[in-house]
Amino acid sequence: MADDTLFHKIIRREIPADVVYEDDHMIAFRDIAPQAPVHVLFVPKDTIPTLDAAQPSQAELIGRLALAAAEYARQQGLAEDGYRVVMNCNDHGGQTVYQMHLHLLAGAPLGRFGAA
């Protein structure tokens, strides 16, 4: 079901996660298989399966995710060196959990962003 993904279980605290931030709109926790020294997922609490499924009424929420990632990076002293934010969408985008989420990757040079 769309509202019963792994990330919904983390939101409901049915599955443990290393939560680094939470508010009324979202939860943020460390990725279990980090692709960079810092790899945090920002997940809305409203059910949005993919970016493709997002509605104009959810524009503010999507903006909140991006701003929360930026704030977290600043707080952690990662912003000046820089970071990457990514949203994978559907199969070709590499999405594996169908509750929309934003990846924050940081803590080392990430190399060029490519299709490979």
Q: Contact residues for ligand 5GP (CB under 6 A)?
A: 6, 17, 29-33, 88, 94-97
- In the complex, minimum distance from the CB of residue 9 to ligand 5GP, in angstroms, rounded to a whole number: 8
- In the complex, minimum distance from the CB of residue 30 to ligand 5GP, in angstroms, rounded to a whole number: 6
Q: With b meaning 16 or more CB within 10 Å and e meaning fewer, what string describes 62-97?
A: bebbeebbeebbeeeebeeeebebebbeeeeeebee
- In the complex, minimum distance from the CB of residue 79 to ligand 5GP, in angstroms, rounded to a whole number: 22
CA distances from 82 to 1, 6, 77, 102 (A): 36, 29, 9, 16
Decide whether 70 or 85 has the Cβ nearer to ligand 5GP.
85
d(CA 96, CA 23): 24
Decide whether 80 or 94 has the Cβ nearer to ligand 5GP.
94
Decide whether 57 or 90 has the Cβ nearer to ligand 5GP.
90
Max intra-chain CA distance, the chain:
40
Active site annotation includes 101 = yes
Question: Which is catalytic among the residues 8, 39, 92, 101?
Answer: 101
User: Which residues are marked as active site?
Assistant: 101
